[in-house]
Amino acid sequence: MKKMTLVSVVVASLLLVGCNDEKAVDTTKAEVVKKVEVATAEKSESITEKATKAVDAVKEVASSAVTKTSEAATEVKEAVKEKATAVVESSKEVANKAKDAVEKQVAQVKEVVAEKVAKAKEAVSTKEVVAPPAYAACAGCHGKDGKLKALGKSEVIAGQAKADLITKLNGYKAGTRNVSGMGVLMKGQAEKLSDADIETIATYLSGI
């Protein structure tokens, strides 16, 4: 645009000069050309300057953008790290709590089981062996659990081997056994017993 204006000036000048002498026209022409050159140079200089400024500004903006981006990235990284650490911490806490709860539960179960086992053991050890009805007639002389020496004569019959007891009772029943002269007395007792009674009594006495 400025160039156009300059050209207009030149043309105007030429028109104004009109038919003056040729030398004066030449001088004016030369001046105008010089002005145009100067103006063009100035113009090009200012364009270069502006371009340089624009490039600088872009550079600055780009570099600040890079800085900001890297800063933001660092911040995000930090935040993520922090969150991750917090998550790990809370997970650890939860796991520890769960572990504690389970351990507590196990300890309680163990305690209960131990208690039950102890009670069961006690029940077994204190459980009385109940005498079968067939033994009722024998208790008067041998004691309610067979631990007495009948009439101060017999052996203690509690805890003897089952097979021995069966043999001895069958001996009294048949009238073939007599250890201390009281065999007849025992014959009277044994005769009332069936094979099943003898079996039951022998099992009971051997179990004491």
Does residue 160 contact residue 186 with C-beta atoms inside 8 Å?
no
* Closer of 32 and 190 to ligand HEC (Cβ): 190
**Contacts to ligand HEC by CB under 6 A:** 137-138, 140-142, 150-151, 153-155, 157, 165, 168-169, 177-183, 185-186, 189, 193, 201
Nearest-CA neighbor of 66 among 76, 78, 77, 58? Answer: 58
* Closer of 28 and 178 to ligand HEC (Cβ): 178
Biggest alpha carbon distance in the chain? 190
**Minimum Å distance from CB 138 to ligand HEC?**
3
**Minimum Å distance from CB 160 to ligand HEC?**
6
* Closer of 78 and 164 to ligand HEC (Cβ): 164
* Closer of 17 and 208 to ligand HEC (Cβ): 208
**Minimum Å distance from CB 127 to ligand HEC?**
22
**Minimum Å distance from CB 161 to ligand HEC?**
10
Burial pattern 41-73, b for ≥16 Cβ within 10 A else e, equals: eeeeeeeeeeeeeeeeeeeeeeeeeeeeeeeee
**Vertex 200: Cα angle to 194 and 205 (nearest 5):** 125
